[in-house]
């Protein structure tokens, strides 16, 4: 089956990483793929645009079926290949409800509070402009991010394992890359002991190791906006 699959992806992209973890968890390692370079705008190349008019990655093909958007690819793979590899969305109603809740909670809140509100602020705001910004403005973004992390720290304190219970699930696929990316951006997990144990455990999973962003292995982050702030 993997030989009929093709993924366009970018290294270090949270949206790309999520379906890559799912592909490995479902036993589809060895799928065909192309690593694109964002700096060269390869995601706007003809080979991507003919499948994804938005010119975005991940862009995925399974035979003649094209699925774009990170979360859609994840759900397509689980729904289509439920009997393969790791079951990422449980069939039990109560367990399924918890996994779905955590999936969408992570997608909405981690994306907004850590990436869009805080991280992009440091990426997109010049240093001189940041110096002119009010202390309250930056502090409010930092506090919102910390409150969100505290919430997940509490969840992990309850489960003592993964974000939706004792088993690795799609909720972890959607949550973990945000934490790994934040760690690369300087997040100090010693302040979040439950999350630190979780991070170490999930990082060691074969699916995560096989899909680890290659440039993260080759070079340290050039910018650590979270260090000393959260």
pLDDT of 177 > 90? The answer is yes
| pTM of the full structure | 0.93
The pLDDT score that the predictor gives to residue 222 is 82
Three-state secondary-structure class, residue 30: coil
Q: Determine the Cα–Cα distance for residues 33 and 59; give it in Å rounded to an integer.
A: 10
pLDDT of 140 > 90? The answer is no
Q: How confident is the model at residue 229 (pLDDT cuts 50, 70, 90)?
A: confident
Task: Count CA atoms within 13 Å of residue 83 on its CB side.
Answer: 0
Q: What is the mean pLDDT of residues 161-186?
A: 97
Q: Determine the Cα–Cα distance for residues 188 and 190; give it in Å rounded to an integer.
A: 6
The pLDDT score that the predictor gives to residue 123 is 72
Q: Identify the CA nearest to 49 among candidates 33, 66, 28, 71.
A: 66
Percent of the residues in the chain that have a pLDDT greater than 90, as a whole number:
78
The 10 Å CB-count burial string (b at 16+, else e) for 143-163 is: ebbbebbeebbebbeebeebb
The pLDDT score that the predictor gives to residue 126 is 64
The secondary structure of residue 201, as a DSSP letter, is H
Give the pair of three-digit tokens for residue 24: 């490995």
Sheet holding 5-10, edge to edge: 32-36, 5-10, 59-62, 65-68
Positive or negative CA dihedral for 155, 159, 160, 162? negative
- By residue count, the chain amounts to 230
Maximum distance among all Cα pairs of the chain, rounded to whole angstroms: 55
Average pLDDT score over the chain:
93
Angle between the 135-159 and 193-203 helix axes, to the nearest 10 degrees?
70
The pLDDT score that the predictor gives to residue 207 is 98
* Cis-peptide, bond into residue 226, ω within 30° of zero: no
Least confident of 10-14, 65-69, 92-96, 128-132: 128-132
Q: Determine the Cα–Cα distance for residues 42 and 69; give it in Å rounded to an integer.
A: 17
pLDDT of 133 > 80? The answer is no
The pLDDT score that the predictor gives to residue 1 is 82
Q: How confident is the model at residue 136 (pLDDT cuts 50, 70, 90)?
A: confident
Three-state secondary-structure class, residue 187: coil
pLDDT of 82 > 80? The answer is yes
The pLDDT score that the predictor gives to residue 134 is 60
């Amino acid at each position: 089956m993997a030989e009929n699959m093709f993924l366009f992806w970018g290294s270090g992209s949270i949206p790309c990483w999520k379906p890559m973890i799912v592909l490995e968890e479902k036993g589809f390692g060895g799928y065909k793929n192309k690593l694109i370079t964002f700096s060269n705008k390869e995601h706007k190349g003809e080979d991507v645009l003919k499948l994804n008019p938005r010119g975005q990655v991940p862009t995925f093909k399974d035979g003649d079926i094209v699925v774009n958007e990170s979360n859609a690819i994840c759900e397509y793979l689980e729904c289509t290949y439920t009997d393969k590899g790791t079951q990422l969305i449980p069939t039990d109603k109560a367990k399924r409800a918890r996994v779905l809740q955590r999936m969408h909670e992570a997608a909405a809140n981690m994306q907004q509070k850590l990436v869009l509100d805080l991280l992009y602020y440091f990426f997109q705001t010049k240093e001189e402009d940041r110096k002119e910004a009010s202390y309250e403005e930056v502090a409010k973004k930092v506090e919102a991010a910390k409150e969100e992390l505290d919430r997940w720290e509490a969840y992990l304190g309850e489960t003592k394992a993964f974000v939706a219970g004792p088993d690795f699930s799609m909720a972890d696929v959607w949550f973990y890359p945000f934490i790994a990316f934040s760690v690369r951006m300087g997040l100090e997990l010693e302040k979040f002991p439950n999350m630190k144990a979780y991070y170490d455990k999930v990082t060691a999973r074969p699916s995560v190791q096989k899909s680890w962003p290659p440039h993260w292995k080759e070079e340290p982050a050039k910018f650590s906006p979270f260090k000393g702030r959260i």
